[in-house]
Amino acid sequence: MSYSDDCETPHTTLFPCQEKGYIPESENVLFHTNLLAPQSSDAIYFEAPPEPGNYAYVCTFPGHALIMRGVLKVVPPQ
């Protein structure tokens, strides 16, 4: 495979695997739900990262990342 990126914005390329629920095996994936069928739900419980900041989350099902994304904002205790 040859990949060329002439855009001014950064990009990544990955090949998610259906058998693994389209969840990349990476130390950069902190938490994830299981692959959910339509009209189903899942809940995950985790401790927020200790460092305040913005932590991006995204749906890795093919084609969804453009609109199914958000930011978990961790703020210092007040």
Task: Note the residues at the interface with Cu ion (CB under 5 A).
Answer: 59, 61, 64, 68
Closest C-alpha among 3, 10, 20, 4 to residue 60: 20
Q: How far is the CB of 37 from Cu ion (least distance, A)?
A: 12
User: Closer to Cu ion at the Cβ: 55 or 61?
Assistant: 61
CB of 61 to Cu ion, least distance (A): 4
Nearer to Cu ion, 32 or 55 (CB): 32
Which residue, 64 or 73, is less far from Cu ion as judged by CB?
64
> Nearest to residue 56, comparing CAs of 72, 67, 33?
72
Distance CA 26, CA 23 (A): 9
